[in-house]
């Protein structure tokens, strides 16, 4: 289980580094992998959904890391 803050950080990470817009639930696999919750070895994360309110996305991107 990942926290809301970890999901926000993952969403921001994929937007900034990969230029991919995802909804919060789509960023959860990334947050889990970054938090060490996805096991050992190579990990594949499916990032899906772009159904996020633009104002919410801007707020997340404007947050200090």
- Per residue in 6-65, pLDDT (tens digit) is 999 999 999 999 999 999 899 999 999 999 999 888 989 888 888 899 999 999 999 876
Residues 6+ apart with CB under 8 A from 26: 11, 47, 48, 49, 50
SS3 44: coil
């Amino acid at each position: 289980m990942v926290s809301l803050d970890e999901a926000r950080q993952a969403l921001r990470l994929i937007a900034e580094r990969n230029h991919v817009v995802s909804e919060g639930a789509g960023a959860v696999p990334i947050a889990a992998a970054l938090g060490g919750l996805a096991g050992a070895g190579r990990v594949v994360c499916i990032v899906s959904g772009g159904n996020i309110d633009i104002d919410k996305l801007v707020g997340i991107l404007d947050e200090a890391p």
